[in-house]
Chain A
Amino acid sequence: MKEFLEKEALICAQCHYCRVCPVYSVIGWESVSPRGRMFMLRSILKGKLEPSIVVEDFYKCTTCGACEVVCQTSIPLVDVWETARADFVRKGFAPLNIHKMLREIAEKTGSPYKEKREDRGKWAEKYKTKEKAEIIYFAGCTASYRTKELAENTVEFFTKVGIDFCYAGADEVCCGSPFLRTGQREIVYEFFKKNYSEWRRRGVKTIVTTCAGCYRTISRDYPKIAEELGYKWDFKVFHTVQIIHKLLKEGKIKLKEWREKITYHDPCHLGRHMGIYEEPREVLKALNTDFVEMERNRENALCCGAGGGVRSQFKEIAMEIGKKRIEEAKRTGAKYIISCCPFCKLHLEQSSEGSMEVLDIIEVVNKKL
């Protein structure tokens, strides 16, 4: 851990191309800029700074990865932030108070939300879902408790197109994304084990999720955790939009026309973290929409502001970034902003304060099938 951080901190050229950071762009002080944090890391490792005075600024980062895209020296910055945060937690300098509280809640409820564990699958009571199947729908915490319409539309869509799937309901627990991003790794291992055993018990081979954060965590972080713990990892993992895209390409579904002016917001966990940019756009174009890009799109897209624990700990920063994204969407003249992530939807909806309609792609596709 120390070697990785030291090497990358020395490699940083301090060129400041990472000024694209959404948090730096609204706060404007070096302590929250990626290069500032790299300089802090370097200074900590050289014994010139105490970790205790930098910790809060290390958490003023949505881990969106915009810095990584422009980095002159190709530093894997998201890994650096997460490793540094985990190191701060290990040494007792972190987590910050709200992140700690969320972990304590999650230890009881299996999610960072306060709702009861047994209510997790309540949204699905009106649907017939199977106990066992090769494909499982992983709803994730936000779609289970907050943006339930995403989970509902997903299940309706799967049913309509004849996907044979199961759903774990109250036996599903958080994928662990909020805790990985905030350096609280211990609880993630517990969640991993619980989800893993459920998937094995149900004979699952493929995991499909509507959540960009869950998708990133299960497809990128879980295989590494499995390796660390000595578990076999042979699951296929998809985001719902990949399934929609595949069915469209194969001509197995056809979507009705939706003649609206729309724009698309790339969720960081789906785009920059996982490289999925074109599938959602092709799905939206298949609806024959009047599609218009925002100025910053694909790998240069502006984060919604919610990720990396920023929304929970520093809500005012998250809201300011969210408002900037909404303003950018409005400048396109679009009526709707579409995304592929329940957390982006939740946050953009609140940031827009009703000034723009925010929808998830699955809501549109399910209605237009």
Chain B
Amino acid sequence: MLNDIPSSNDFLQRFLYSHDISFLPFIRTKTPDIVFQPRDEEDVLKILKFARDNLKPVIPRGSATSGYGGVLPVRGGIVVDFFRMNKFNVDEDSKILIAEPGAVWWDIEKELNKKGLSLRVYPTSAPSSTVGGWISQNGYGVGSLAYGSIADNVVKLRVADFSGIRDTEEIEYYVGMEGTTGIITRAWIRVKDYEDFNYYAFHVDAEKAVKLAYASNYYSALFIDRNYIELKNKVANTDLPERDTLVIATTKKMDGNEEIGREIWESRFYPIRIKRLGPSLIPAEVLVPSEKLPLFFRKFNPKAQFGSEVWFIKGGKAAVLSFILCDERRWSYVLYWRYILKALKIAKKLGGQSYSTGYYLSKESKNLRNFKDLFEFKKKVDPNNLLNPNKVFPSGLLPKLIAIAEVFS
């Protein structure tokens, strides 16, 4: 039944499909039993049937560019890599993109641009991250100041689970759920007309940056702190003024520095370039209320080389990503991980939350407004807990250990 679906149970492939971009100390995960690369929805349904019949976990995987462990086959099972389901098209009249889960954001953007259209939001990992991956994580990124999260722009999803496949507009059961409630096989996403943006840099501190970012209806706003610019200059051989800087992307005219604005904007897909100075880098990523951003920065001050970037979000939230440089060959590497939990603790005290949950921070999903409802839904659609187990819905020892570690961070 499954013989014609591209797959591999070779040890090397299974080994390579058992990790994401994170390298957490002490965390061990299993290798999957097999990796499938479905070509279409029929293949996905066949894989799900096989999983149910054999009680095997199913772990959907895009480009694995997240660091929350969402694609780790914690209990082994079947990794479903969407490399071959990467088709997309656009309804130009309704301005709706229809994409398979393996379609890569920047491939889509280039095609949309040819038709005079553009994505409303896209991740800063757009050159490699996929539609299915970003929706499953519910991310923020470029354009989120005007258009919110990807969830705010998804109209409809097609989802496969053990009972079949269906289209649904109840996207809250799937967005950010990491495939724990069903596997996304198609997404309908709102796009916009293409616009020529200007990019303006302002050398302002976090407090002024917040005011400026929300002063008008701008498309996107990125704040990078002085620490980050210092590191960036060192590694990329650039000569940017080493000051806190806000870059605003807008069609409006502003009086900021356009040359610096464009230079920073053009490197928006390269936030982890500074890793070369590590060689290791620990990302601490949180959402905080924008007006609390200055306070967050005052409280979050790791004793390490680090720099931060912030994407401002519609509705007064800010996605803060702090990059902590370290060296995993040193024993102190383990201690640096506490900064992730420290950032989270500070963010929560300020009314913020974890950026995502995945595996490592699955305990955070209990703070979701509709967690109870989601939990009931999960039990209904996946009674055997085969859809990406241990993700989003906390289970096993790890969430408890993380909770203890957070107390001491």
Contact = CB atoms under 8 A, between A and B. Distances in A.
Contact of B328 (A10, A17, A36): A10
Interface stretch (B6-14, B204-212, B221-229, B365-373): B6-14
Given A11-B276, A54-B12, A28 B65 contact: no
B273 interface: yes
Nearest to B129: A16
Given A29-B13, A57-B12, A13 B275 contact: yes
A320 to B, nearest CB: 15
A72 B272 CA distance: 7
A59 B65 CA distance: 25
Contacts of A72: 269-270, 272-273, 275
A108 interface: no
A40 interface: yes
Contact of A15 (B8, B83, B128, B278): B128
Interface residues of B, number: 36
9 nearest A-B residue pairs (beta carbon):
A16-B128, A10-B279, A30-B16, A14-B21, A11-B279, A28-B83, A17-B127, A16-B63, A13-B272
Contacts of B270: 72
B13 A30 contact: yes
7 contacts: A14-B20, A16-B128, A30-B17, A49-B12, A53-B11, A70-B127, A74-B273
A15 B125 CA distance: 8
Contact of A40 (B16, B64, B275): B16
B281 interface: yes
B12, B13, B276 pick with most chain A CB within 10 angstroms = B12
A39 B275 contact: no
B329 interface: yes
Interface of A: 7, 10-11, 13-17, 19, 28-31, 36, 39-40, 43, 49, 53-54, 57, 70, 72-74
B149 interface: no
B190 interface: no
A19 B16 contact: no
Given A14-B20, A28-B37, A29-B13, A7 B65 contact: no
Given A53-B11, A73-B275, 13 more contacts: A10-B278, A10-B328, A10-B329, A14-B65, A16-B65, A29-B16, A29-B37, A30-B13, A30-B17, A39-B16, A40-B16, A73-B272, A74-B276
A31 B16 contact: yes
A85 B154 CA distance: 46
A317 to B, nearest CB: 16
A53 B13 CA distance: 11
B81 to A, nearest CB: 8
B15 interface: yes
A7 B273 contact: no
A36 B281 contact: no
A242 to B, nearest CB: 27
A53 B128 contact: no
A247 B329 CA distance: 54
Contacts of A10: 278-280, 328-329
B314 interface: no
Contacts of B252: none
B84 A29 contact: no
B275 A11 contact: yes
A73 B64 CA distance: 17
Contacts of A11: 275-276, 278-279
A72 to B, nearest CB: 5
Contacts of A29: 8, 13, 16, 37
A16 B64 contact: yes
A290 to B, nearest CB: 21
Contacts of B12: 31, 40, 49, 53-54, 57
Interface in B1-40: 6, 8, 11-13, 15-17, 19-21, 37
A221 B17 CA distance: 36
A31 B104 CA distance: 20
B111 to A, nearest CB: 11
Given A19-B128, A30-B13, A72-B273, A13 B281 contact: yes
Interface string B123-149: 001011100000000000000000000
Nearest to B273: A72
A36 B15 CA distance: 10
A54 B13 CA distance: 10
